[in-house]
Every structure is written in C-alpha cells, then in structure tokens.
Amino acid sequence: MRRAAVLGSPISHTRSPDMHRAAYAELGLDWTYDAIECNDRDFAAFFAGLDEQWRGLSLTMPLKEVVLDVVEDVDDRARQAHSANTVWRTADSSSWRATNTDIPGICSALGDVGVDRLERVRILGAGATARSAVAAVAEMGAVSIVVHARRPEAADEVVRLARDLGCSSRGADLDVQWGEDDLLISTLPADAGAPWAAALDADRIGHTALLDASYHPWPTPLAQAWARHAPVAPVASGRDMLLWQAVDQVRLMTGAVTDANLARVAQVMRSALSTDGSSP
C-alpha cells in the first residue's frame, strides 16, 4: 500500500483528497490519500517519521515556506518563489524532493482560456500565491509586473522576485489603479477584490485577462464584474489552477501519468471538483 496526503492547518475543507483519489482510481492504483492537520511547528517531526509506504505530500498553508528548511533537495522553482507545495519520493526511493506545482498550475489555467503570452501584469496580494504567480508569468514572457498589497512595503519580497526573474516591477497599495495590462491576477480572498470589481467598466478592462485564485464561491465579485463589462476577455478561475497543480502532483508522486492518459486523469480530477469546496 502506498500513501500520500495533504498537510496544513486548517485542513478540514480541503478538496485535494477528492482529486487525488479520483486519479488513483482512474490509474488503477491501490493508494491512499488523506488530509492531515499539521502546523509549522510539527511538520519537521512528521516528515522525519515517514516510512517507505509514503510517496508524496501536498502542502498548503502554513507549510509552503517551512518545508524549504526541512527537505534538502528543493528545485529551482520552489527556491525562487520561496514556496513549495509538493514533496515526493524519487523513483529509486533514495530521497525526497520539493517543488512548486502552483507555478505550472497557473500557466495551465491561463492556457485553458487562451492566454499563453503576455507582457504587462498586475497582481493583487503579496503572499505565497503571489510569488508563485510572479514566477509563472515570468515564464510566460512578462516584462512588467505591478504588485498591490495593503501596505506597499509588504510587496517588497514579491517585487524583488520579479526583478530577479528579469521583469521591471514596483509595489503599490490596494487603491484601484489601471494601466494597459494584459493580465490581472487576484490572490486576495473573494470579498477583498470587491472594491476593484465595483470600479470596473468596459473601458478599463478592454481585453485584459483575469485569473482570480479564489474559487469559493465562484464566480467571485471580481469575476462577475469581468463577465459583465468585458464578456470577451479571458477569465481563469482558481479552481482551474487548483486542478492543474494537483494533476502535476499526481504525475510526480505516482509516475503513472503519461501523455496517453493525461487528458482522462485531468477529466476525472476535474469532475471530483464539481461540488462546492473551499480549500486546496
């Protein structure tokens, strides 16, 4: 029996078990996947106690940063974003690796709605998801990133990351501002984006795409405003981001996802998300 789990605190409303178990069933794997309450103080001890049955961990807050000090082999994506959401045992079981599948998850969610190239990006929020968003859009060709935070100085770490990745970047407060943006990414809770939603009109949106990382409830006030004022502008949901980061986790942990079965695995995982949920 192989084991995997999602860890974090709070963890009671996570949707990860639904998705991973659906994938295991599709792949014919006799694996278990559980949700385990674990805070940042207890993670190192939990990780040290994992036996050979364990193949991988999905990590949510508050573990995405502390894991970087626990797992020795951390890939470049996770190091750059200072955030890892995935730990998996290598194929020969000799070691554990940590990575950030939120980054390709964001790229895939945007690709689903036809966004595959961009230059000017505006990001609301300055936490771990914002750092992953910066890394993702840098991979997609972004050259300019404005980071909005409640306190502009809180955006400093995200701005530094953007500059390290070759983008021009600056911080700003959460007052509504617009430019000639290709993409707006909100990493704020759904209700926190309401002031931006209230200030929207078709002239301000134009053809700017939206990725709202919040997905419960969906559509968020921001996504509703986007659809009302710019029905042709692409809108990607946090649910799509959540799906694709989980698909990549299953691929890494099991080694059983191939080009031939990827579409079917993604479909059964998407179906597992069809009921309401609130956390990754």
Catalytic site residues?
64
Rounded to whole angstroms, the Cα distance separating 4 from 18 reads 13
Backbone φ and ψ of 252, nearest 5°: -70, -45
Cβ neighbour number for residue 40 with a 10 Å cutoff:
15
How many whole angstroms separate alpha carbon 136 and alpha carbon 240? 14
Residue-wise burial string across 195-208, b where 16 or more C-beta atoms lie within 10 A, e elsewhere: ebbeebeeeebeeb
222 touches 247 (CB < 8 A):
no
Paired residues of 34 in beta bridges: 5
Q: Nearest to residue 164, comparing CAs of 85, 86, 77, 84?
A: 77
